[in-house]
């Protein structure tokens, strides 16, 4: 098995020639953005970009392409990969879940809950293809011991708009839940310009704030508008679809063993030890440990914080072993976001991991797509491998804090500031 907190390889150093030099008109900076020497990693990590909407995104997989790709995977895997519709988006697009493997552990992999975070779908398609077609002993082992269920594009409407939120008005919510007629709109209702996207005439919800640990929760006007430190409301069809799938798997497998939610973060995140721009950050649920103690707000729930740390370390190890740059996601101990999907599922006993790929589509666009996809796949593969072999249970969760941390690289190319609490990212 691979151990957590291995000694850091000395192979990656920012070169003086590149570090901090603006490459293009001052909007692109290279902060240690050098290619890992002599590794299989795809090209170099793209530089830090702060200008929004400059880079194209056409390489990514859109909704129609996803449907065709899933059909193809069924064919080439000779039926090992199957898929089905598990719900419809607010604008009536299919939400698909694909399954591969027959094991009695179940791992639920989710991507693009935020519609401008597009590496996740491509990475999940690649994992499905590998598991569906590979005759390697490793793929066979995972298929035998794990059932992998992947939702590559949960926020199908937001994805088509290339924006974070879904495409749903408060009036539509009230239509579905008349008891909310006099309630204030939920706090995660976006009606302004955010991340360069104008929601004023086309509002929507941040779906990753719409989850509740009580999976039978029915929206109650007394709970609105709520805030980030409280549970969400299951008021959007996309979050309902993921909740329903989770409940179904929970019953079928007597518990969902693991949940991965793949996101993107800012484009200028660097490692705190080497200053290098990173590929993928990992994280455990933003639920304060002390709230699980007697009298704490999460005391009535399951505590999956340590198993989540173990699974996050596993993913980090896979990212690093493949030659990519992993890091701990910015996470203050008091960070408390129970309305996130990963938090709600963790409170039901599932080990949950967050991936935060560097750069969202409004900044990096498709730059670095191949590299980030491979880094993400490497992390997922290691998680599945360690789940299949049981190695994940032997990882020491207390070593989590010894993984390299995140810092924010400044536009001048200096990686100095501690990463701020990423309120509008995960």
| Interface residues toward Zn ion, by CB under 5 A | 114, 117, 263
Smallest distance, Å, CB 408 to Zn ion? 17
Instruction: Output 94 or 117, the one with its CB closest to Zn ion.
Output: 117
Instruction: Output 114 or 212, the one with its CB closest to Zn ion.
Output: 114
Which has the closest alpha carbon to 276: 331, 332, 312, 324? 324
Cα radius of gyration (the chain): 20
The helix/strand/coil state of 221 is: helix
Smallest distance, Å, CB 337 to Zn ion? 12
Which has the closest alpha carbon to 57: 155, 199, 162, 158? 162
Sign of the four-CA dihedral 154, 157, 160, 165 = negative
Smallest distance, Å, CB 210 to Zn ion? 13
Name the region of 25 (left: φ>0; alpha: ψ -120 to 50; beta: rest): left
Smallest distance, Å, CB 212 to Zn ion? 19
Instruction: Output 131 or 354, the one with its CB closest to Zn ion.
Output: 354
Instruction: Output 117 or 197, the one with its CB closest to Zn ion.
Output: 117
Smallest distance, Å, CB 117 to Zn ion? 5
The set of residues, in sequence order, having a beta carbon less than 8 Å from that of 31 and lying 6+ positions away, is 14, 19, 20, 47, 48, 268, 270, 275, 276, 277, 409, 413, 414, 415
CA distances from 234 to 122, 238, 315 (A): 27, 9, 29
End-to-end CA distance of the chain: 30
Query: How far is the C-alpha of 230 from the C-alpha of 339, rounded, in Å?
Result: 6
Instruction: Output 114 or 358, the one with its CB closest to Zn ion.
Output: 114
Query: How far is the C-alpha of 67 from the C-alpha of 84, rounded, in Å?
Result: 10
Instruction: Output 282 or 392, the one with its CB closest to Zn ion.
Output: 282
Instruction: Output 292 or 345, the one with its CB closest to Zn ion.
Output: 345
Smallest distance, Å, CB 266 to Zn ion? 11
164 half-sphere exposure, CB direction, 13 A CA radius: 25
Smallest distance, Å, CB 7 to Zn ion? 32
17 and 254 in contact (C-beta within 8 Å)?
A: no
Which has the closest alpha carbon to 350: 237, 209, 422, 245? 245
The tokens of 153 are what? Answer: 């594009």
Smallest distance, Å, CB 426 to Zn ion? 5
Smallest distance, Å, CB 260 to Zn ion? 13
Smallest distance, Å, CB 207 to Zn ion? 9
Instruction: Output 36 or 165, the one with its CB closest to Zn ion.
Output: 165
Query: How far is the C-alpha of 96 from the C-alpha of 263, rounded, in Å?
Result: 18
Instruction: Output 116 or 366, the one with its CB closest to Zn ion.
Output: 116
Which has the closest alpha carbon to 250: 347, 166, 156? 347
Q: Minimal CB distance to Zn ion: which residue?
A: 263
């Amino acid at each position: 098995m691979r151990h957590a907190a291995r000694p850091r390889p000395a192979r990656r150093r920012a070169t003086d020639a590149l570090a901090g030099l603006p490459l293009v008109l001052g909007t692109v900076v290279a902060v240690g953005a050098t290619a890992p020497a002599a590794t299989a990693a795809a090209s170099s990590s793209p530089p830090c970009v702060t200008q929004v909407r400059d880079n194209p995104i056409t390489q990514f997989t859109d909704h129609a392409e996803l449907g065709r790709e899933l059909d193809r995977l069924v064919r080439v895997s000779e039926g090992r990969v199957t898929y089905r519709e598990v719900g419809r988006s607010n604008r009536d697009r299919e939400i698909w879940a694909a399954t591969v493997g027959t094991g009695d552990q179940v791992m639920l992999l989710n991507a693009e809950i935020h519609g401008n975070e597009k590496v996740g779908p491509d990475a999940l398609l690649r994992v499905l293809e590998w598991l569906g077609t590979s005759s390697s002993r490793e793929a066979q082992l995972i298929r035998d011991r794990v059932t992998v269920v992947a939702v590559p594009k949960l926020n199908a409407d937001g994805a088509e708009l290339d924006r974070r939120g879904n495409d749903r008005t408060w009036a539509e919510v009230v239509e579905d839940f008349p008891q909310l007629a006099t309630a204030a709109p939920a706090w995660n209702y976006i009606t302004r310009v955010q991340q360069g996207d104008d929601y004023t005439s086309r509002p929507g919800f941040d779906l990753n704030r719409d989850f509740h640990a009580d999976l039978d929760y029915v929206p109650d006007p007394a709970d609105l508008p709520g805030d980030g430190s409280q549970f969400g409301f299951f008021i959007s069809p996309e979050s309902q679809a993921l909740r329903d799938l989770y409940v179904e798997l929970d019953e079928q497998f007597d518990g969902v063993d693991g949940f991965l939610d793949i996101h993107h973060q800012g484009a200028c995140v660097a490692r705190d030890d080497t200053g290098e721009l990173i590929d993928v950050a990992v994280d455990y649920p933003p639920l304060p440990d002390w709230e699980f103690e007697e009298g704490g707000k999460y005391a009535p729930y399951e505590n999956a914080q340590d198993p989540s740390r173990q699974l996050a370390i596993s993913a980090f190890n896979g990212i690093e072993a493949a030659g990519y740059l992993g890091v701990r996601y910015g996470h203050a101990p008091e960070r408390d976001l129970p309305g996130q999907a990963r938090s709600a599922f963790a409170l039901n006993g599932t080990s949950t991991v967050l991936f935060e790929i560097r750069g969202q589509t409004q900044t990096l666009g498709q730059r670095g797509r191949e590299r980030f996809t491979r880094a993400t796949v490497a992390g997922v593969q290691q998680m599945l491998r360690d789940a299949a072999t049981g190695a994940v249970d032997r990882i020491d969760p207390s070593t989590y804090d010894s993984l390299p941390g995140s810092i924010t690289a400044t536009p001048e190319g200096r990686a100095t500031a501690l990463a701020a609490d990423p309120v509008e990212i995960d």
